[in-house]
């Protein structure tokens, strides 16, 4: 029983069986006496009972036996020569040998017995004794020994199991805690420090709420109340814990379960009150990815604005609110003008950055409760709530227009984008979500086809069919039926008063609406890409007409044609221009292609290569509306540009008596000086007065175009044209 039972108790933590009633054959007894006869009679008696017995003749032999083997019981004679009983007891104590010792003594002196008990003996038996008496003592002693050893085993198991649990608790990836009835921490594992940054010990004794973020206090309070209620089903909750110092707050899934009412407190003392055991698992990563997925579902990732779905949600809510309170709300449809051109010519990366910047600027224009959303491509929508009246929606739209006036700096480029804005006001402009959005869209297109950069409020007479669709269909039909014609405006050398060339300007002879200028349909044609067909057919017609004129007495007459950047971006651009010229037998050296500055912002090799290829055949490239856009001069050297057309707005400033005219004319001076310096041709646009003519000639710009010399007209009308007298040179 001695050693072997120890070994068994080590095996499993779950095995709690401990044998307290040893069988005779399981124990080992050592008999010690110097009297061989006595020794032999005890051995015979005990062996008869089935006990395995060893005998030691004298103290020295006893010590030998004890050193070699484990015994459960020793019957020890005190008086022995040499090494006596007390010496053996000292040895047992010194070597911490675990066995029960019954002293068998002939002396009946109480001192001897007391001495032996002091030295660690467990019991004594006086000689002479009855055999029954001996057996009874041995039985008792063995039972006592069995009990003691099973206690020791139990304690060892408990210690081991506690160590194991402590190890598990302390190394748990989750926070493990115990709360008392007041909801204060009685125990916390060290994980709380690594997950929240809080010192574990300073939290002990503090309310659970101290660890919870303020926003979640109500929720946490209710949760703890429920946790203490054994009938409650609520056993877990998601709570945010505060971080300490640098650490931000994190999300935890907290699970709790009440303990049975009586148990051992963590300090080892007895407890009679229920405790709450709990764990808190860090779910911040999961929450963040959920939040991101959620964000993604309702936001445009490029601009981080709400997307179409969220916008519709918000409008729906706002309508419900407005109808209850008889309030106004407005939906604004904001469409960027010419964004497509920029996107195509500068590439999508630049386009994306521009959109982000536009979004940020628009965001700055709105109030807190309003919702700005990216509806798609270059379309934004804005929901304005709690409007005092419809006019305040117009004011908001104007503010947006104003904010877009300043150029955006994207990389090396300064970009200007305008916006057309349509407004639908609830309830007049639509009493439900779809109607409001559709009508704002209709108003926006109504605005876009008339002029860019405008604001228009939807009116019921704008009709149920979106104007844009109608216009688009009209435009397609017009191309099929060829409802377009060209007018030509003379370009004059004012020093000689001779017509040097003509600019072809397109008109649409609309069956219902009469003659329409390019401003009324070119934007839509660009948005729908129908401009490609339109510009190609204009080039062909212009080349034919002017070629005929050249053949009839005006051999050197030049032709200027306007080209949309969308056309230039096409892969087949060069081929198609050249084949058209060939088809019409038009000399390339008499052709000027007018392109806009926006196209030139693109330093894509493609554009440079294409324009160079055309220039190599003798075609000249002119920059239209020069000075209005993205006055980045770098491209002038890089590209085969031959002509700068000074924009009408600069010409108009000459001599108009306005305060800023000095400033404006100094721009004209600068452009002319620069153009001459770069050995470029200069043409001033929009010359309407003799004063402007004089000024321009004086600063060195000889070529002019404008109403002073002639409006756009059918080509044959040029014959009868009377030019004003030439400017003094």
* Interaction site with ligand C2E (CB under 6 A): 489, 505-506, 517-519, 522, 531, 535, 538, 562-564, 594, 624-625, 648, 685-688, 705-707, 712
Q: Cα separation of 453 and 494, whole Å?
A: 35
DSSP summary character for residue 20: -
Integer Cα distance of 162 and 170 in angstroms: 12
Question: From ligand C2E, Ca ion, none, which one binds at residue 26 (CB under 5 to 8 Å depending on kind)?
Answer: none
Looking at the Cβ atoms of 124 and 586, the one nearer to ligand C2E is 586
Q: What span, in angstroms and rounded, lies between the C-alpha atoms of 121 and 143? A: 16
Q: What SS3 state is found at 635?
A: helix
> Site map for Ca ion, 678-707, x if CB under 5 A?
-------x----------------------
Beta carbon nearer to ligand C2E, 85 or 565:
565
Q: How many CB atoms lie within 10 A of CB 40?
A: 13
E strand or H helix at 390: helix 390-404
Which one of ligand C2E, Ca ion, none is in contact with 59 (Cβ closer than 5 to 8 A by kind)? none
Nearer to ligand C2E, 439 or 705 (CB): 705
Give CA–CA dist 242/296, Å, rounded: 27
Shortest Cβ 453–ligand C2E spacing (Å): 15
Distance (Å, rounded) from C-alpha 348 to C-alpha 371?
Answer: 26
Minimum CB distance to Ca ion, residue 422 (Å): 28
User: In whole angstroms, what is the distance from residue 146 CA to residue 151 CA?
Assistant: 9
Q: Could you tell me the two tokens for 492?
A: 């004059």
538/681 with CB nearer ligand C2E: 538
Query: Should residue 489 be labelled a site residue for Ca ion when binding is judged by CB under 5 A?
Result: no
d(CA 83, CA 222) in angstroms, rounded, equals 76
The answer to whether the CB of 431 falls within 8 A of the CB of 425 is: no
Among 474, 527, 592, 625, binds Ca ion (CB under 5 A): 625
Partner in contact with 712, chosen from ligand C2E, Ca ion, none, beta carbon below 5 to 8 Å by kind:
ligand C2E
517 contact choice in ligand C2E, Ca ion, none (CB below 5 to 8 Å, kind-dependent)? ligand C2E
Residues contacting residue 129 through CB under 8 Å, at least 6 positions apart: 104
Q: Which H helix or E strand runs over 100?
A: strand 100-105
Shortest approach of ligand C2E to residue 468 CB, angstroms?
Answer: 19
145: enclosing H helix or E strand: helix 131-170
The one of Ca ion, ligand C2E, none whose footprint includes residue 189, by CB under 5 to 8 A per kind, is none
112 or 594: CB nearest ligand C2E: 594
597/603 with CB nearer Ca ion? 597
Contacts for 146 with CB less than 8 Å, ≥ 6 apart: 1, 19, 20, 21, 22, 72
- Separation of alpha carbons 646 and 665, rounded Å: 12
Residue of the chain from 337, 535, 594, 603 that contacts Ca ion (CB under 5 A): 594
Given Ca ion, ligand C2E, none, residue 271, with its beta carbon under 5 to 8 Å by kind, binds none
Q: How far apart are CA 304 and CA 575, in angstroms?
A: 42
| Neighbouring-strand partners of residue 83 | none
Of the pair 100, 595, the CB lying nearest ligand C2E is at 595
Complex with Ca ion: residue 219 or 648, whichever CB lies closer: 648
Angle between helix axes 348-365 and 390-404 (nearest 10 degrees) is: 140
Q: Which one among 624, 682, 684, 699 touches Ca ion, defined by CB under 5 A?
A: 624
- Between 489 and 598, CB nearer to ligand C2E: 489
Tokens of 693: 């003519």
Closest to ligand C2E by CB, 189 or 489: 489
Q: How far is the CB of 467 from ligand C2E (least distance, A)?
A: 21
Phi and psi at 337, nearest 5°, equal -90, 135
Shortest CB 567 distance to Ca ion, Å? 14
From ligand C2E, Ca ion, none, interface partner of 519 (C-beta below 5 to 8 A by class) = ligand C2E
Compute the least distance from the CB of residue 296 to ligand C2E, in Å.
40
Query: What's the min distance (Å) between Cβ of 515 and ligand C2E?
Result: 11
Contact residues for Ca ion, defined by CB under 5 A = 562, 594, 624-625, 685
């Amino acid at each position: 029983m001695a050693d072997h039972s120890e070994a068994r108790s080590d095996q499993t933590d779950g095995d709690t069986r401990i044998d307290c009633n040893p069988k005779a054959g399981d124990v080992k007894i050592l008999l010690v006496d110097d009297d061989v006869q006595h020794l032999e009679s005890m051995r015979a008696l005990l062996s008869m009972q089935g006990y395995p017995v060893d005998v030691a003749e004298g103290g020295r032999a006893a010590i030998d036996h004890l050193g070699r083997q484990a015994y459960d019981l020793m019957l020890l004679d005190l008086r022995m020569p040499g090494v006596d009983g007390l010496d053996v007891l000292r040895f047992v104590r010194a070597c911490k040998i675990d066995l029960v010792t019954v002293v068998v003594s002939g002396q009946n002196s109480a001192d001897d017995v007391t001495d032996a008990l002091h030295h660690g003996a467990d019991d004594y038996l006086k000689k002479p004794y009855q055999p029954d008496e001996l057996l009874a003592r041995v039985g008792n002693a063995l039972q006592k020994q069995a009990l003691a050893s099973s206690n020791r085993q139990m304690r060892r198991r408990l210690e081991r199991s506690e160590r194991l649990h402590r190890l598990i608790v302390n190394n748990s990836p989750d926070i493990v805690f115990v709360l008392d009835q007041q909801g204060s921490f009685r125990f916390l594992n060290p994980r709380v420090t690594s997950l929240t940054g809080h010192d574990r010990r300073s939290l002990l004794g503090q309310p659970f709420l101290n660890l919870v973020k303020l926003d979640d206090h109500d929720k946490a309070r209710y949760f703890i109340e429920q946790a203490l209620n054994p009938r409650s089903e609520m056993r877990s909750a998601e709570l945010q814990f505060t971080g300490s110092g640098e650490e931000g707050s994190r999300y935890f899934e907290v699970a709790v379960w009440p303990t049975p009412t009586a148990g051992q407190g963590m300090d080892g003392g007895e407890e009679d009150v229920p405790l709450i055991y709990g764990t808190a698992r860090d779910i911040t990563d999961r929450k963040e990815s959920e939040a991101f997925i959620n964000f993604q579902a309702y936001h445009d990732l490029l601009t981080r604005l709400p997307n179409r779905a969220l916008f519709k949600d918000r409008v729906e809510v706002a309508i419900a609110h407005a109808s209850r309170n008889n309030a106004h709300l407005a939906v604004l449809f904001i469409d960027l003008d010419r964004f497509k051109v920029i996107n195509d010519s500068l590439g999508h990366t630049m386009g994306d950055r521009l959109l982000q910047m536009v979004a940020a600027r628009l965001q700055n224009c709105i109030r807190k409760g309003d919702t700005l959303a990216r509806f798609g491509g270059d379309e934004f929508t804005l929901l304005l709530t709690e409007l005092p009246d419809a006019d305040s929606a117009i004011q908001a739209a104007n503010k947006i227009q104003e904010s877009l006036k300043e150029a955006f700096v994207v990389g090396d480029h300064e970009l200007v984008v305008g916006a057309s804005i349509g407004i639908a006001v609830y309830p007049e402009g639509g009493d439900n979500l779809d109607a409001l959005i559709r009508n704002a869209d209709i108003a926006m297109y109504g605005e876009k086809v008339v002029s860019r950069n405008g604001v228009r409020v939807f009116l019921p007479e704008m009709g149920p069919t979106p104007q844009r669709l109608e216009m688009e269909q009209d435009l397609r039909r017009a191309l099929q039926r060829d409802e377009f014609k060209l007018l030509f405006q003379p370009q004059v050398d004012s020093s000689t008063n001779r017509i040097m060339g003509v600019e072809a300007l397109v008109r649409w002879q609309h069956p219902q609406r009469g003659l329409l200028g390019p401003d009324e349909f070119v934007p839509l044609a660009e948005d729908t890409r129908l401009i490609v067909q339109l510009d190609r057919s204009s080039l062909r017609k212009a080349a034919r007409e002017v070629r005929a004129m050249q053949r009839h007495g005006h051999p050197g007459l030049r032709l200027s044609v306007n080209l949309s950047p969308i056309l230039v971006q096409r892969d087949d651009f060069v081929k198609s221009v050249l084949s058209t010229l060939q088809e019409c037998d038009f000399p390339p050296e008499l052709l000027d292609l007018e392109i806009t500055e926006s196209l030139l912002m693109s330093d894509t090799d493609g554009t440079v290569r294409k324009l160079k290829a055309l220039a190599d055949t003798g075609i000249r490239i002119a920059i239209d509306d020069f000075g209005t856009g993205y006055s980045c001069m770098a491209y002038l050297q890089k590209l085969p540009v031959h002509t700068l057309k000074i924009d009408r707005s600069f010409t108009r400033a000459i001599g108009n008596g306005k305060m800023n005219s000095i400033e404006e004319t100094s721009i004209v001076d600068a452009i002319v000086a620069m153009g001459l310096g770069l050995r470029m041709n200069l043409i001033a646009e929009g010359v309407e007065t003799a004063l402007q003519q004089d000024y321009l000639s004086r600063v060195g710009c000889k070529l002019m175009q404008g109403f002073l010399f002639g409006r756009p007209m059918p080509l044959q009308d040029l014959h009868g044209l009377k030019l004003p007298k030439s400017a003094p040179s």
